[in-house]
Structure 1
Amino acid sequence: MNIPKLMATQHPDSTIVFTAQDEVKEAIDDVLPLERGGRGCDEKMIDYEGKATPYNQIRAVIEEAKYYDIVPGEDFLITPRIPNPKLEDKDRHLLTITAAITANMYSQLYFNTNAVKYVILPMSSSTLEVAEVQRRIIKVQRLVSEEFSLRGEEIVRLIPLFENAESHMHIDEIIEGLRVALIKEVGLVERNFRIFVGKSDSAINSGHLASSIAIKMALLKMWKWQEDTMFRSYPIVGMGKPPMRGHMAEWVRSEWVDAWKGYYTATIQSALRFNTERKDYVATVLKIAEGRGQKPDLSQLDLQDSLIRIAWKASEVYTREIDRLAEHILFMSKLVIGTRARLETYRRKAKTGKELPRAIKFCAALYSMGLGPTLIGAKVIEDLAKGNGENLDILLRFLPLLKKDWGYDLHLTDLDVFKKYVDDKTYEYIRRDIETVKEYFGELPTPKELPEEYFKLLHEVKTSIENSDISKAKANIVKLAEIRGFLG
Structure 2
Amino acid sequence: MDHVPMSMCTQHPDNAQVPNWVRDSVIQGDDEVHEAYLAYSLYGCHEVMWDFEGKDVDIYVVRKLLSRYPEYFRNNVLGRDVYLTLRLPNPWVETAEKKLFSQALELVPTAYDVAREFYGDDNINGVFQVILPLTSRAEELIFTYKYYERVVAGKAFIELVPGVRVMDVLGSVRPNTIDVIPLIEDLNSMMSIDKIIIGYWKVVKPSYLRIFIARSDPAMNYGLIPAVLMAKVALSKALDLGRELGLEVYPIIGVGPTPFRGHLTPYNVDSVIREYPCVYTFTVQSAFRYDYPEGEVVNAISELNHRAPSSDCTVPDHGVLINIINKYVINYQREVEGLANVINRVSNYVPRRRARKLHIGLFGYSRGFRGVVLPRAITFVASLYSLGIPPEVLGVSTLEELSEEEYSALSEVYVNLRHDLTRAAKYVCHECLDLLTKYGHAFEINGETINEVKRDIKALEDMGIKTGPNDYEGRKHELLAQLLINSLIEGREEDTTKYMVEMALIRHAIG
Q: TM-score, normalised by structure 1?
A: 0.91
CA distance in 1, matches of 2:414, 2:468: 15
Tell me what 2:293 maps to: 277
SS at match of 1:10: coil
Q: Which moved more, 1:128-137 or 1:164-173?
A: 164-173
Instruction: After TM superposition, give the deviation of residue 153 of structure 1 in Å.
Output: 4.8
**Would you say how many aligned residue pairs link Structure 1 and Structure 2?**
472
Tell me what 1:73 maps to: 79
Query: Residue 164 of structure 1 contacts residue 211 of structure 1 at CA under 8 Å; is this kept in 2?
Result: no
Tell me what 2:435 maps to: 420
Residue correspondence of structure 1 range 19-98 to structure 2 within 5 A? 19-32=28-41, 38-69=42-73, 70-86=76-92, 87=94, 88-98=96-106
Q: Which moved more, 1:138-147 or 1:262-271?
A: 138-147
Query: Residue 261 of structure 1 contacts residue 291 of structure 1 at CA under 8 Å; is this kept in 2?
Result: no
Amino acid at match of 2:446: D
Change (3 A) 1:161 1:446: farther
Change (3 A) 1:347 1:217: closer
Change (3 A) 1:417 1:66: same
Amino acid at match of 1:123: L
Query: Residue 50 of structure 1 contacts residue 346 of structure 1 at CA under 8 Å; is this kept in 2?
Result: no
Instruction: After TM superposition, give the deviation of residue 47 of structure 1 in Å.
Output: 0.7
Change (3 A) 1:369 1:214: same
CA distance in 1, matches of 2:307, 2:234: 18
Instruction: After TM superposition, give the deviation of residue 435 of structure 1 in Å.
Output: 0.4
5+ residue gaps, structure 1, are: 33-37
Tell me what 1:162 maps to: 184
Amino acid at match of 1:308: I
- From 305, 324, 328, give the equivalent of 1:310: 324
Q: Which has the larger radius of gyration?
A: 2
CA distance in 2, matches of 1:137, 1:447: 54
CA distance in 1, matches of 2:100, 2:463: 50
SS at match of 2:303: helix
1:151-174: CA deviations, max 9, x gaps? 625522211111112222222222
Tell me what 2:236 maps to: 220
5+ residue gaps, structure 2, are: 19-25, 157-165, 437-444
Tell me what 2:455 maps to: 432
SS at match of 1:379: helix
Change (3 A) 1:150 1:414: farther
SS at match of 2:182: strand
Residue correspondence of structure 1 range 244-259 to structure 2 within 5 A? 244-259=260-275
Query: Residue 84 of structure 1 contacts residue 122 of structure 1 at CA under 8 Å; is this kept in 2?
Result: yes
> What value does the CA root-mean-square deviation take over the aligned residues?
2.1
Query: Residue 80 of structure 1 contacts residue 119 of structure 1 at CA under 8 Å; is this kept in 2?
Result: yes
CA distance in 2, matches of 1:324, 1:104: 51
CA distance in 2, matches of 1:156, 1:288: 26
Query: Residue 210 of structure 2 contacts residue 252 of structure 2 at CA under 8 Å; is this kept in 1?
Result: yes
CA distance in 2, matches of 1:150, 1:402: 53
Query: Residue 83 of structure 1 contacts residue 93 of structure 1 at CA under 8 Å; is this kept in 2?
Result: yes
Tell me what 1:177 maps to: 199
Change (3 A) 1:216 1:449: farther
CA distance in 2, matches of 1:228, 1:411: 44
CA distance in 2, matches of 1:366, 1:48: 27
Tell me what 1:35 maps to: none
SS at match of 1:251: coil
CA distance in 2, matches of 1:449, 1:179: 54
Change (3 A) 1:62 1:470: farther
- From 328, 335, 346, give the equivalent of 1:321: 335
Change (3 A) 1:292 1:48: farther
Q: Which moved more, 1:4-13 or 1:64-73?
A: 64-73
CA distance in 1, matches of 2:414, 2:467: 15
Tell me what 1:3 maps to: 4
Matched, 1:382 2:400: yes
